[in-house]
Chains A and B, each alone.
Chain A
Amino acid sequence: MSDTAVVAPPAAKHKGPRVKPMRLLLYAFLTVMALAWLVPVGTAVYNSFRYWEADTQPNGAFSLPETLTLDNYRDAWNVGEMAKTFGNTAFIVIPALFFTLLLAAMVAYACTRYSWKFNIAFLVLFTAGNLMPQQVLFQPLFQFFKRMPWPDILSDTDTGSLLGTKIAVILIHVAFQVGFCTFVLSNYMKTIPKEIDEAAAVDGAGVWRRFFKIILPLTRPALAALGTLEFTWLYNDFFWGAVLLNRGDERPITSSIAVLNGQWASDFNLIAAASILIALPTLVVYLILQKQFISGLTLGASKG
């Protein structure tokens, strides 16, 4: 093989002997880098099973363990109230994901199927909106949620408004993410032949029926990819969960990190265990659905 996929085979033959060591060097470089990439998580996983004061602190992170323990995980789970914060995350992420994908698919359908005047203008608006710094939206949104009456019975606060409810967080997530998803889905829907849609219309299927029965099933690959990507993004949100939900135990898990970090100043193995627990859901999704994940990301990059 040539050291350059770029070079055509005949040319590669001429420099045959020089090629091998280069190739070896390349593999060595890639392997060393891969190991370096694994070090932060690897040491965190390893030390999360050890005691800090009795073991890692005196002996170092790379020493053999004196004892292995699950205590750090138990403590992180209990002290960090993770059952609660994981629950908060589920309460926010699942509806947000569902409505984001549904709404985005609708807009994308409308934009690509109908020669609609504002088509491009709207896509520009969504794309640009998605890149806005969140901090800039915060104060007016805060005031808006504070003044938006909301029955306490439908939330877990007693303010009588949307402020401090998870619904406010879901709303802003949907509003923010719907832009990117519309953009990706419309790119994808452009590749579905218009004739399919038109044939169904001729057969008497209404707009909604065509959308749910024909277009959505055909968009499934893009929805799967996008759903995977959006899941991690919503799960990973730090900002909105932190600024809109005041009390630490009301926050989703990612936003509760600042609280945990304040509480556990010095037990680094406890921090390691907590961070592994928090990272686990997205890592599992990534390991299982890696292909979806990467195609979701590149869907956004490819041009329709």
Chain B
Amino acid sequence: MVGVPAALHIGLVWIPAALTVGLSFAEWDNLAPLSDIRDVGFRNYWFIFTVFEGDLFGALFNNFVLIIWLTICSAVGMLFAYLLDKNIRGSRFYQSVYYFPVVLSLAVVGFIWKSTMFSRDRGLLNTLWPGGPIDFVGDGTKIFSFDLPFLDPALGLSKNFAALLVAMAWRHIGYIMVMYLAGLKAVDQALREAAAIDGCNEWQAFRRVIFPSLKPINVIVVVITAIEALRAYDIIAALNEPRGTDVMGTLVTKSLLGEGGGRVGFGSAYGVVMLLLCLGFIIWYVINHYRESEL
């Protein structure tokens, strides 16, 4: 009974992941037969960290910005949930409005935003943005950048990527809000009353009583936020990867699907970097979750 799904899951998820780790130490053109796979040790890693450092660190920087940004969005989502939990009249309505972008794919979100928010002539972001008209998702110039002594292209945040960040926030905030709303509903009323009797002001009650009692949700939100940021791909690929928006996800895919299919080793090495970053959060989540259930 358990055999079929377990085999499917292990065979199509875990084994491929393990094989990718193996391929990251190999050189291979993916059109060639399997017997052509050559072991090259850490050479792929050496290449991506030195020769192609601009690609790798540029992508890592964007992922890093995304983690920070989505963390801020998560906090905003929590604030929304907290406010909506205050016996708001029409709370269902507000909840539906904030939440609806979550049912859309990030690819669609990108497409919708491109149509009316990003465009150079009539996009709404351009009306709000200081300075001349900017072709968001067409303008690779940086909003800010800084030089690192060992890195050739300066790291920085491109206007393109900033525009995508706004669109991603639109979706992420509602997602996190719903998670916290469910958590807040489950907070024991007695706890709140006890806090009030002890003379806590609102901030203290939240900080010391309500927030700690939301721990299971906090764990999930941290993981969702981090994994979403590290796995980001759809919105960038759907808009055909505007300049300056490379993240690890697009870097891996590009190397694997690139012309001639000759960079399997590189792509896999990029993939392993991405996997390692995710793995920390995955392990932390699994430990947190199952420690308390019934080990």
Binding site for B on A (CB under 8 A): 1, 3-8, 11, 26-27, 29-30, 33-34, 37-41, 43-44, 47-48, 56-57, 60-61, 103-104, 106-107, 109-111, 116, 120, 122-129, 131-144, 171-172, 174-176, 178-179, 182, 207, 232, 235-239, 242-243, 254-255, 257-258, 260-262, 268-269, 271-272, 274-276, 278-279, 282-283, 285-286, 290, 293-294, 297-298, 301-304
Contact = CB atoms under 8 A, between A and B. Distances in A.
Interface of B: 1-2, 4-6, 8-17, 19-20, 23, 30, 34, 80, 83-88, 93-94, 96-101, 103-108, 110-117, 119, 121-122, 124, 167, 170, 174, 178-179, 182-183, 186, 192-193, 195-197, 202, 205-206, 210, 216-217, 220, 223, 227, 230-231, 233-234, 237-240, 248-249, 252-253, 256-257, 264, 267-268, 271-272, 274-275, 278, 281-283, 285-286, 289-290, 292-295
23 contacts: A6-B210, A7-B196, A40-B117, A41-B101, A43-B124, A106-B2, A111-B2, A124-B290, A125-B6, A128-B283, A131-B223, A138-B16, A139-B264, A171-B12, A175-B11, A179-B9, A236-B106, A243-B257, A258-B107, A276-B112, A290-B96, A301-B220, A303-B216
B23 to A, nearest CB: 6
B233 to A, nearest CB: 6
B213 to A, nearest CB: 12
A21 B106 CA distance: 38
Nearest to A293: B103
B114 A126 contact: no
Contact of B9 (A126, A274, A286): A126
Contact of B105 (A104, A109, A128, A254): A254
B115 A272 contact: yes
A131 B227 contact: yes
Contacts of B206: 6
B83 A29 contact: yes
Contacts of B239: 258, 261
Nearest to A60: B122
Given A34-B94, A122-B6, A275-B111, A132 B278 contact: yes
Contacts of A275: 108, 111-112, 114-115
A214 to B, nearest CB: 15
A129 B14 contact: yes
B104 A282 contact: yes
A71 to B, nearest CB: 15
Contacts of A123: 290
B105 A238 contact: yes
Nearest to B278: A133
B103 A294 contact: no
Q: Is the interface of A mostly helix, strand, loop or mixed?
A: helix
Nearest to B206: A6
A196 B21 CA distance: 46
A241 to B, nearest CB: 10
Contacts of B98: 33-34, 37
A139 B100 contact: no
Contacts of A120: 290, 293-295
Contact of B240 (A27, A125, A143, A262): A262
A303 B122 CA distance: 47
B282 A30 contact: no
Nearest to B209: A6
B108 A5 contact: no
A257 B290 contact: no
B290 A132 contact: no
A174 to B, nearest CB: 6
Contacts of A239: 233-234, 237
Residue in A109, A120, A143, A182 with the greatest tally of chain B CB atoms within 10 Å = A143
- By Cβ-Cβ distance, the 8 closest A-B pairs, closest first, are A236-B105, A175-B12, A272-B115, A140-B16, A140-B19, A298-B182, A275-B111, A135-B252
B280 to A, nearest CB: 11
Given A106-B5, A123-B290, A293-B103, 10 more contacts: A41-B100, A57-B121, A131-B282, A132-B13, A133-B249, A139-B264, A175-B8, A176-B13, A274-B111, A279-B112
Nearest to A41: B112
Contacts of B285: 127, 131
A104 B249 CA distance: 28
